[in-house]
Structure 1
Amino acid sequence: MKKNDIILIAITLVVALACFIGTRIWQKSNTDEDAVAVVTIDGDIYGEFPLSEDIVERIEFPDGSFNVLTVSEGYADVTEASCPDQICVHHNHIRYSGESIVCLPNKLVVEVKGGEDNGIDGSTY
């Protein structure tokens, strides 16, 4: 390896680390104490569950299928489901506004939405 190769690798690592840290800071600044997990089934709102409370909700469907939504410690997660692929169960928990968990066989969507809108989409200097 030449000296320029090492410099290029070092610069690439520094930029990647800066992007990672910037993303984490941005995510933390977008958390909201009033955030809720909004559950929709086939496009209709089933319920809104505050992330600040610990809740276990079993959502049953007319065909006998079900999903279990668990909200605890500021996270929402689908912990059980009757669907065959279990993708919604294996999905990581969600807590930031805009994140979602989808169960296609049951047409269930869990999405985190923040509290009040502060009216600012972005700012530049």
Structure 2
Amino acid sequence: MKKRDIILVVSLLVFAGIVFLIFNFNNKSGKTVVITENGSTYGTYSLSENKVIGIDTDLGHNKVVIKDGKVHMEEADCPDKYCVDKGDISKTNESLICLPHKLVVEITDDEIISNNDDLDAIVK
């Protein structure tokens, strides 16, 4: 190897390391779980409260579990079960997707405002 080759390899490794650190440390823990079914919001839940959510639609059944600040798809009656195999998510913008059931479970950084019937809208 020539000196220029070594410099190029080291430069690429340093660049890759910096990009890796930026993506891993910039992604912080989320606060809210938003479940969307066929493009419509099914529900919004706090990531800090343990909860089991059963979702039954015309396309099938899913069971989403929020526990200890993490979310996972515990059950799905779809044929491939990729959403179940994904495991836990907890960081902002991570998601679980069940394509056969058109279901998306996403972590956001938004705060949930307690249910108040006097509210007309929530603006971010």
Report the TM-score, using the length of structure 1 for normalisation.
Answer: 0.76
How far did 1:98 drift? 2.4
After superposition, residues 94-109 of structure 1 pair within 5 angstroms as: 94-109=89-104
Show CA shifts across 1:55-109 (max 9, x none).
222222246x311101122221112100001121122432233222221211211
Q: Percent identity?
A: 38
Structure 1's consecutive aligned runs of 4 or more residues displaced over 4 angstroms after TM superposition are none
- Looking at structure 1, the residues matched to 63 and 102 of structure 2 have their Cα atoms a distance apart, in angstroms, of 14
In the TM superposition, what are the counterparts of 1:25-64 in structure 2 within 5 Å?
25-28=25-28, 31-32=29-30, 35-62=31-58
* SS of 1:83 mapped into structure 2: coil
Structural RMSD (CA): 2.0
List runs of 5+ in structure 1 lacking aligned partners: 120-125
Which blocks of at least 5 consecutive residues in structure 2 are unaligned?
112-123
TM-score (norm 2): 0.76
Aligned equivalent of 2:62, options 52, 55, 67: 67
